[in-house]
């Protein structure tokens, strides 16, 4: 295993309920280090481009509306096997299928309002990190 970086979003359902610290505690307890973090309110265009891979899916419009409904916290996480580790800490996309103790099992409201996003591959992590952060903002 190697030290990797992955990209994470704490979604509007979680910021609305003031859960940023509780979610960060789970990330840190799982061995990930938050090496960059900022709170932003995504524009429609930013959310559409970020989720462009899903643009043909029936939930795309609703997903973009949800992701622009309030602030999010975008993050870069670093650690051993960080992409897979973060997905393990988040749990399954649908909270009904997520394991006990995961972010989504503990906090998610629905498959859409599922509290967190995490990159699904090292390649996508690099793309997603570069979409929101400059190198100067990442301090390992």
Which residues make up the interface to ligand CMP (CB under 6 A)? Answer: 54, 59, 63, 93, 111-112, 114, 117
**With respect to ligand CMP, which residue has the nearer C-beta, 4 or 135?**
4
Residue nearest to ligand CMP (CB): 117
107: its two tokens: 């906090």
**With respect to ligand CMP, which residue has the nearer C-beta, 85 or 117?**
117
Minimal distance, residue 76 CB to ligand CMP, in Å: 16
Minimal distance, residue 122 CB to ligand CMP, in Å: 16
Listing DSSP states for 58-95 in one string gives TTHHHHHHHHTSS-EEEEEEEEETHHHHHHHHH--SSG
**With respect to ligand CMP, which residue has the nearer C-beta, 19 or 136?**
19
Q: Rounded to 5 degrees, what angle do the CA atoms 120, 128, 47 make?
A: 105
CA–CA gap between residue 9 and residue 42 (Å, rounded) = 11
95 touches 108 (CB < 8 A)? yes
Active-site positions read 117
Closest CA to 43 of 79, 8, 69: 69
Minimal distance, residue 112 CB to ligand CMP, in Å: 4
């Amino acid at each position: 295993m190697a030290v990797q970086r992955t990209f994470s979003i704490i979604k509007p359902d979680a910021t609305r309920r003031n859960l940023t610290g509780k979610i960060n505690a789970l990330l840190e307890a799982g061995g990930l280090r938050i090496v960059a973090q900022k709170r932003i309110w995504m524009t429609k265009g930013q959310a559409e481009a970020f989720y462009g891979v899903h643009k043909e899916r029936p939930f795309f419009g609703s997903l973009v509306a949800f992701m622009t409904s309030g602030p999010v916290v975008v993050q870069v996480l670093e650690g051993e096997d960080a992409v897979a580790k973060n997905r393990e800490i988040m749990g399954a996309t649908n909270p009904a299928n997520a394991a006990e103790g995961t972010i989504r099992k503990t906090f998610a409201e629905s498959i859409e309002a599922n509290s967190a996003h995490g990159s699904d591959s090292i390649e996508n992590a690099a793309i997603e990190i570069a979409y929101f952060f400059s190198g100067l903002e990442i301090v390992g």
